[in-house]
Amino acid sequence: MKKPSAVILTVVLTLAAAVSLVHGRTADPKLDSSDEQTKLTSMEQQIIAKESEGLEALKSGDVQRFAALTAADAIFVDAQGPATKAQVVKNVEGFTLSEYSMNDVKFTALSKTSGLVVYKIREKGVSHGKEFTAQVYVSSIWTKSGKDWLCLFSQETAARQ
């Protein structure tokens, strides 16, 4: 039997592939390949910046900002299992990062308005009164909603030491 983390990773990768197939990544015939690449690079920069903004909100204790970056129907998955936006926002009220670093950041566009960012985070902070340090792999799917980028899905998997 597969470990739960392997099953979750399989689900995430399958979801990413399905979204890519459904939405397609066909280039606009009016754009040449360099324009399309610039568009993707811009999306990548925007999504990574939003991911960092969410981490900065956790660092400063700005729960409202963190919530504003999260889609209403978002699902987050960690060692405790899946959680809704409401559950996650309630949980981060007792969580603050004191420091973090994002390493080995990778990005793939899933459609013209969504993308997947994956990275390893090294973090220190306080969770519900207890200090912690951790190394975690994170994958997050962001989607454009109007003018805003919102996190639709995020999964954390503890990294092996």
In this prediction, residue 161 carries a pLDDT of: 78
Of 125, 119, 94, residue with least CA distance to 106: 119
Provide the pLDDT confidence category of residue 35 given band limits of 50, 70 and 90.
low
Overall size of the chain counted in residues: 161
Backbone angles phi, psi at 119, to 5 degrees: -160, 170
44-76 pLDDT, tens digit per residue, is 999 999 999 999 999 999 999 999 999 999 999
Number of Cβ atoms within 10 Å of the Cβ of 78 = 17
Closest to 155 measured CA to CA, from 86, 104, 80, 99: 80
Which residue range(s) make up the domain with 129?
A: 4-23+30-158
The CATH code of the domain that includes 36 is: 3.10.450.50
Work out how many domains the chain is built from and give that number. 1
Residue of higher predicted confidence among 30 and 116:
116
